Structure 1
Amino acid sequence: MKLVDVTEFYSQRGGGVRTHLTEKAAAAARRGHEHLVFAPGPRHATDPGVRYIPGPSLPYDPTYHLLWRVGAARRLLRAERPDVLEIHSPYVAAIAALGLQPSEFGVRTFVWHSDFIDTYLRGGLERRLTVVFRGRAPRAADRLVEPLWAHVRRIAAACAMTVVGSRWQKYKLEQHGVARVEHIPFGIEPGRFAPERRSEARRQELLAGRTGPLVLAIGRFAVEKRWDVVVDAYARLAERRPGAVLAVFGDGPERHVFQDRLGARDDVRVLGFERDRDLLAVTLASGDLLLHGCPYETFGLGVAEAIASGLPVVVPDAGGAAEQAPPESAVQYPAGDVAACVAAAEALLAVHPAELRARAAVAARRVPSVVDHFDALFGRYRELLAR
């Protein structure tokens, strides 16, 4: 098969969609399929298997670029005549892909990577409308975002299937009338993330003479990730456990906001975006706890990798992170509630470390593999093409 993906969610730094598509390329190559990604990027950017369409960087996060040359994108896609044309973002990439005629591809599919309506718009709208509409604000907010859901329905109606990585997203999309939604769970790289990668040397390197616990956090520095909850919860936890250290993997447009909220602390290590996946795996396996704040994850790759590494996790009770949370080594808290987040962390830390690691090791074995995901996905492609 010839597989072509088009997306705007393709950062020069990295991120969930880029990781997904990189793993898809590897999976396609192992199975003898041809794979190409079309994405906006800098004029002279080059990456194997990626054809960049030059576009300006976005003001909020300059590592992402604007796909504004719809005609050029459409011509490039049309020239490939793919067996499977897959849309990975609901903006201009979707408009470009929907402009192709059915004779110019085999099947067209859509992957729902980001709950952009509720994540970026609806919650803020409801809070502002409460001032005027009071108890009617939720319905007013729903009416205002309905045209966006109509846009999502139009994309899905023109595709043979819409793929989601979590059950809660399948339910949500179906509640909004989106057609042909299929839950094909995302997964992690097999063999890389595992409890056996725990390293006392790495743990002591990050603790730097402190007694612990070693608390980890991972994710893009963006407003929807709710780093305010992580920072505030850790600050309270550190008051109770003065030997604690917080090690943070991440970067993004809200880094300055994160740093300002954090203030000057000698017990926090801000490690940036870790490109060495093996070092990341060793670090996740060597921590005591993951603190996570985002209630909007459509899957939550970082959380999945932490669980697969045998790391106990504290996650909000909403979104893909909550869906993944294993009962034996995770505690959920009401999203946005800092005090509850601290209590959840304390509940896990109260368990004897050896017992907690043993529980987490059991949970680690249940994390789905990206191999299983692409086996299922490519199987569905074949079925759709055979119709």
Structure 2
Amino acid sequence: MRIGLLLAESRGGIGQHVASLVPRYLAAGHEVVVCAPPGTTDHFDFGAATVVAQTVGLRGTDVVHAHGYRAGMAALRDRSHLRPLVVTWHNAVIATGARGLVMRLGQRLVARGADLTLGASSDLVELARRLGARQARLAPVAAPAMPAVRTPSAAVREELGIGDAPLVLSVGRLAPQKDYPSLLSVAAEVATTDPGVVFAVVGDGPLRDNLQARIDAESLPVRLLGHRKDVADLLSAADVFLLTSHWEARALVLQEALQAGVPVVATAVGGVPELVGDAAILAFPGDTRGLADGVRKILSGPETAAALRAEGLQLAAGWPDEDAVAKNLLDIYGGLVATTA
């Protein structure tokens, strides 16, 4: 097959997912054309795939797989030439006001225009069906295999200047979806009873200055580490992984934390509960007290931490890896091509 992969501007999980598919499709003997903005193609390595900047470059492919609503809308503008069309929904629309209204309208158009809608979590699949999708099914996105730890935990802690202090780690773009104001409130709450706990956040984004201003004003035990390439090392040094998001599908950072054996405290949103099962302590979004209590329970209870660690490792061992995800998608493409020829 000649496979077209279409994505909008991306610096995170969507681009990473597409970049993981390309070499596997090529190794299986298929041709691959990737259509993405220059910033995205500069950020990710799409290997030997043909790279184009406009959807016209996807014409003549046997199947087009768009990743995200914006990519789906771009495909619909050239719909007569780009079919069959598969669209994967990676995220929910959480914007409000006029922008949110426009985005939800786009969702509906993409749901009805695609030959097949794939959802990264079950709630997205159900939403697509409610919005009129012809076909919709679950298609989990695999987290890449964790790289080997290169720096011992003691050295990581020394570099952070925290010694033996408990470390609570979060990873993600400093953007509204991640609800880092709640994370700062959790840190403040934990500090009332456990003042030695350090919270560290990996990632950059538009909220950095606002978050740092609050950290400084309230003397919160939170470090904004910015972009890091040693997440595996940081996970190996962490005592707890904390996710405070308003919404997530199959959060790659949670998959990485569980693969690394780090006990997790997270918000019960989107696809998080079905992803983590009993391998995490969950609280409602914005429930500062509940999240803080979860952190305290792990830090003060070695048996709780050990049980969560073991449950997470067992769960992660059963997830489909990148090879399995790519093979599943190739089977899906083959079925669509056969039925729409």
Q: TM-score if structure 2 supplies the norm length?
A: 0.86
Q: Take 2:155 and 2:117, find their aligned partners in 1: how far apart are those partners?
A: 41
Q: 1:59 maps to which residue? A: none
Task: Within 5 Å, give how 1:56-205 maps onto structure 2.
Answer: 73-78=54-59, 81-91=60-70, 93-100=71-78, 102=80, 104-105=81-82, 107-116=84-93, 119-121=94-96, 145=101, 149-190=104-145, 192=146, 199-205=152-158
Instruction: Sort the Cα spacing of 1:259 and 1:340 in 2 relative to 1 into closer, same or farther, 3 A.
Output: same
Report percent identity of matched pairs.
27
Aligned to 1:227: 180
Gaps of 5+ in 2: none
The amino acid across from 1:98 in the alignment is: L
Q: In the TM superposition, what is the alpha-carbon distance from 1:295 to its structure 2 partner?
A: 2.7
Q: CA deviation at 1:163?
A: 0.8
Q: CA deviation at 1:371?
A: 2.2
1:307 paired residue number: 258
| Structure 2 Cα separation of the partners of residues 360 and 44 of structure 1 | 34
Q: Aligned partners of 1:44, 1:15: CA distance in 2, in Å?
A: 12
The correspondence for 1:339, drawn from 285, 289, 295, is 289
Contact map agreement 1:221 1:227 (CA 8 A) in 2: yes
The answer (yes or no) to whether the contact 1:197–1:285 under 8 Å persists in 2 is: no
Which one of the candidate residues 360, 373, 379 is aligned to 2:325?
373
Does structure 2 retain, via aligned residues, the 8 Å contact 1:112–1:162?
Answer: yes
Partner residue of 1:24? 21
CA distance 1:34–1:262, change in 2 (3 Å) = farther
Query: Using a 3 Å threshold, how does the CA distance of structure 1 residues 231 and 98 change in structure 2: closer, same or farther?
Result: same
Q: Is the 8 A contact 1:325 1:331 kept in 2?
A: no
Q: CA deviation at 1:285?
A: 3.0
Partner Cα separation in structure 2 for residue 318 and residue 292 of structure 1? 10
Q: 1:198 Cα deviation (Å)?
A: 9.1
Cα distance in 2 for partners of 1:207, 1:363 equals: 30
Does 2:302 align with 1:349?
no
Q: Of the candidates 262, 275, 281, which is equivalent to residue 324 of structure 1?
A: 275
Q: Distance in 1 between matches of 2:179 and 2:294?
A: 17
* Mapped pair 1:7 → 2:7: yes
Letter in 1 for 2:133: V
Q: 1:43 to 1:324 in 2, by over 3 A?
A: closer
Aligned length: 332
Aligned-residue RMSD, C-alpha:
2.9
Rounded Cα–Cα distance in structure 1 between residues aligned with 2:269 and 2:164: 32
One-letter code aligned to 1:259: Q
Counterparts in 2 of 1:386 and 1:168: CA distance versus 1, 3 Å = same
Indicate if the aligned counterparts of 1:193 and 1:309 stay in contact, CA closer than 8 A. no
Task: Please state how far the C-alpha of 1:355 moved relative to its aligned partner.
Answer: 4.9
Are the structure 2 counterparts of residues 50 and 240 from structure 1 closer, same or farther at C-alpha, using a change threshold of 3 Å? farther
1:348–1:197 CA distance, 2 compared to 1 (3 A): farther
CA distance in 2, matches of 1:223, 1:148: 16
Asked if residue 247 in structure 1 is aligned to residue 200 in structure 2, the reply is yes
Partner of 1:131: none
> Do the aligned residues in 2 keep the contact of 1:202 with 1:283 (CA within 8 Å)?
no
Give the drift of 1:17: 1.0
CA shift, 1:208, in A, is 2.5
